[in-house]
Amino acid sequence: MLNAIRKIGIALVTVGYSLAALLAMPFDRRGRSYIVLARSWSRALLRIAGIRLHVHGRVPQAAAQRRQSFVYTANHTSYFDIPVILAALDDDVRIIYKLELEKIPLFGFQLRKSPFIAVDRSDPRRGMQSMQQAVEVIRAGASVLVFPEGRRSEDGMTAEFKRGAFMLASRAGKAVVPVAIAGNHSVMPRGASTIRGGDVHVYIGEALPALEAPDRAAEQDMMRAIHAFIDARVRAHSTAAAHDASVQQDS
């Protein structure tokens, strides 16, 4: 019953915010009102889903003051990753999302009209066009969020990264901020239909400086460093959660 109530609540809130976003878009060419609505929608979804968000670390001060944009890279484990990120990051963040999301009634339509960036993973040429669009967005002053794994993790652990996010940062000449999401896989794993709620932790790391020039080897070094940061925090959380579950079972 609780799961059904949560799903109905999420659907109603999403419809309401989608309509509000569509009404606001014609009067906001820079997309700022959309970001405000998206963040409010995210926090409402987390409350309905029973997710308690814990944020460790802060976005770079320059981002919070809208003086500099960044490329944020996060692990991907759940449908709730995007609302968790939007609720956690105090920045003008544009999401790079998969084109298939535009098939969702109403939500997909407003997403297509939004300042977020769609990427068609089935068409390399259109994928490169999305990359160039993201570069232009960052240079115009907005930050971008990328999930370097490309798809949600099967087991909650950090999968291998793809190069796209780091090539994007290199071309745009922007620093990269690693973001680790821990606990979201337990809320709603890939393939699951039940929303369990619970504690989700977001760890915001220090920004890695922008590369002086596009360089494949340097991009790969950055990719490994960010993967290590995220993977360490996800594994630490998983180990602590397993220990807590074992203690509860014994008691």
Each residue's pLDDT tens digit, 82-140: 999 999 998 889 888 888 888 888 888 888 888 888 887 777 677 777 778 888 888 88
Q: Which two tokens stand for residue 248?
A: 């509860």
How does the average pLDDT of the chain come out, rounded? 87
Residue 76 DSSP SS3: coil
Residue 41 DSSP SS3: helix
155/169 Cα distance (integer angstroms): 28
Q: What does the pLDDT look like over 206-235, one tens digit per residue?
A: 999 988 777 888 899 999 999 999 999 999
DSSP 140-151: TT-EEEE-TTSS
Main-chain dihedrals φ then ψ at residue 59, nearest 5 degrees: -65, 155
Instruction: Provide the whole-model pTM.
Output: 0.89
Q: How many CB atoms lie within 10 A of CB 103?
A: 9
pLDDT at 195: 92
Task: Report yes or no: 39 and 87 within 8 Å, Cβ to Cβ.
Answer: yes
Give the angle 109-129-228 at the CA atoms, nearest 5°: 95
Q: Which two tokens stand for residue 42?
A: 């995210």
Q: Which architecture, in CATH terms, is 2-250?
A: 3-Layer(aba) Sandwich (3.40)
Q: Which helix (H) or strand (E) holds 7?
A: helix 2-24
Quick one: what percent of the chain has pLDDT higher than 70?
Answer: 94
pLDDT at 119: 81
Q: What does the pLDDT look like over 150-183, one tens digit per residue?
A: 888 888 899 999 888 888 888 888 899 999 999 9
Domain boundaries, the chain: 2-250
Q: Where are the alpha helices (DSSP H) in 115-194?
A: 124-139, 164-172, 184-187
The pLDDT of residue 199 is above 90? yes
pLDDT at 80: 92
Q: How far is CA 202 from the centre of its chain?
A: 11
pLDDT at 204: 96
